[in-house]
């Protein structure tokens, strides 16, 4: 599946693959939750497809069927949690050494390339320099600055931006999020996928809507800052980020010094929250109490 904001990138990569001009090592770099993995997945499928076309994989050849079933013998993925060690990289490289079993090509995907240890990265270098025949390496990262320069220089970098606001809002609407707004998107770093995920997890994590409802209740006097701060302490950094965004938006429109103070206080609070052992309820209370200050009279 290709998200609409990646359709052009996908078409361009597929076109180059069919013209046999696709670089054997691609680095897909971009912010979290914009669909980099889905793009790599679709690209891998078309690389392995036995009858690829400019629109993508055929979807019905033996290769496509195995790929969809998650059991393609020429497709390998090196997942990692916090670190990707040298053993796993060597294992992945070993799988690429033989000829392709089913397709003409072989694909290795590294979904979080920035988690490679230095020795893992060094082990990968040789493969990047002298790849085995018909091998494609797809490296994904949200932190390209953490990759060794030697890795960066041997990959073709494909920088993927956050999707445009209008495109994201259209997509969210099609996904059933009727009241999506620019502010909602901004609350989730501009990622429509993060918005959709957050709304589907309404029960477990604090959502932006839950936050907005809480702020409304605070301003109307139905909630106290202490009650909210206690309830939101597990999501304290997220709450402070949203308060900061709200203050920023207000300052842009009002140019009031009070809103700028609020913005600065949130920045300060975000830093304090990074200290282990900090009382999150106290920090949140200070931020929320400032929000309760009445707006200054526009016509004094
Ligand atoms: Zn196919």
Looking at residue 60, what is its pLDDT?
A: 94
Is residue 134 domain-shared with residue 267, that is, in the same domain? no
**Residue 164 lies inside a defined structural domain of this protein:** no
The β-bridge partners of 116 are: 84
Does 299 map to a domain?
no
Q: Which residue positions in the chain have pLDDT lower than 50?
A: 300
CA 64 – ligand 1 centroid, Å? 4
Output the CA 145–ligand 1 centroid distance in Å: 35
Describe the crossing of helices 165-174 and 192-200 by its angle, rounded to 10 degrees.
Answer: 30
Contact (CB, 8 A) for 287 and 240? yes
Q: Which pLDDT does position 257 carry in this prediction?
A: 84
User: By C-alpha distance, which of 206, 275, 217, 276 is closest to 241?
Assistant: 206
Same domain for 119 and 218: no
- Ligand 1: centre distance to CA 160 (Å): 26
The pair of structure tokens assigned to 97 is 């050494």
Cα 54 to ligand 1 centroid, rounded to whole Å: 12
Q: What is the pLDDT at residue 107?
A: 96
- Residue 275 lies in domain: 201-291
- Output the CA angle 33-24-75, nearest 5 degrees: 65
149 and 248 co-located in one domain: no
Ligand 1: distance of its center to the CA of 46 in Å?
7
Q: Given this model, what pLDDT does residue 123 score?
A: 94
State the pLDDT at residue 272.
Answer: 93
- Rounded CA-CA distance 4/8 in Å is 8
Beta-strand pair 135-141/156-159: unpaired
Query: How many angstroms is it from 44 CA to the middle of ligand 1?
Result: 11
CB distance 262 to 290 below 8 Å? yes
* 9 and 112 share one domain: yes
Domain boundary among 159, 182, 211: 159
CA 63–ligand 1 middle distance (angstroms): 6
pLDDT of residue 191: 93
Question: How many Å apart are CA 67 and CA 136, to the nearest integer?
Answer: 16
**Residue 177 included in any domain:** no
C-alpha 105 to ligand 1 mean position (Å): 12
Only one residue has tokens 């929250």, namely: 273
Cα 161 from Cα 222, distance rounded (Å): 41
Domain finish residue from 132, 159, 186: 159
Q: Give the pLDDT of residue 251.
A: 85
User: Can you give the pLDDT at residue 81?
Assistant: 81
- Distance in Å, CA 65 to ligand 1 centroid: 7
């Amino acid at each position: 599946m290709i998200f609409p904001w990646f359709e052009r990138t996908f078409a361009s990569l597929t076109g180059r693959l069919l013209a046999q001009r696709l670089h054997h090592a691609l680095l897909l770099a971009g912010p979290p939750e914009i669909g980099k993995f889905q793009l790599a997945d679709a690209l891998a499928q078309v690389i392995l497809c036995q009858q690829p076309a400019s629109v993508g994989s055929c979807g019905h050849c033996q290769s496509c069927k195995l790929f969809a079933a998650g059991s393609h013998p020429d497709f390998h993925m090196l997942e990692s949690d916090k670190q990707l060690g040298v053993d796993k990289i060597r294992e992945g490289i070993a799988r690429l050494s033989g000829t392709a079993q089913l397709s003409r090509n072989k694909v290795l995907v590294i979904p979080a390339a920035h988690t490679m240890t230095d020795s893992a990265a060094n082990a990968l270098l040789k493969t990047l320099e002298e790849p085995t025949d018909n091998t494609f390496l797809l490296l994904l990262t949200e932190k390209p600055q953490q990759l060794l320069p030697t890795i960066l220089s041997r990959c073709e970098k494909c920088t993927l931006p956050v999707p445009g606001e209008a495109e994201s809002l259209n997509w969210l609407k099609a996904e059933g999020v009727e009241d999506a707004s620019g502010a909602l998107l901004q609350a989730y770093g501009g990622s429509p996928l993060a918005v959709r995920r957050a709304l589907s997890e309404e029960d477990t994590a604090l959502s932006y809507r839950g936050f907005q409802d809480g702020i409304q209740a605070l301003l109307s006097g139905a909630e106290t800052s202490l009650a909210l701060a206690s309830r939101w302490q597990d999501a304290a950094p997220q709450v402070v980020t949203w308060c900061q965004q709200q203050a920023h938006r207000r300052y842009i429109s009002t140019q009031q010094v009070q809103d700028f103070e609020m913005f600065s206080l949130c920045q300060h609070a975000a830093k304090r929250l990074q200290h282990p052992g900090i009382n999150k309820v106290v920090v949140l209370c200070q931020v929320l109490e400032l929000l309760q200050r009445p707006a200054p009279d526009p016509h004094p």
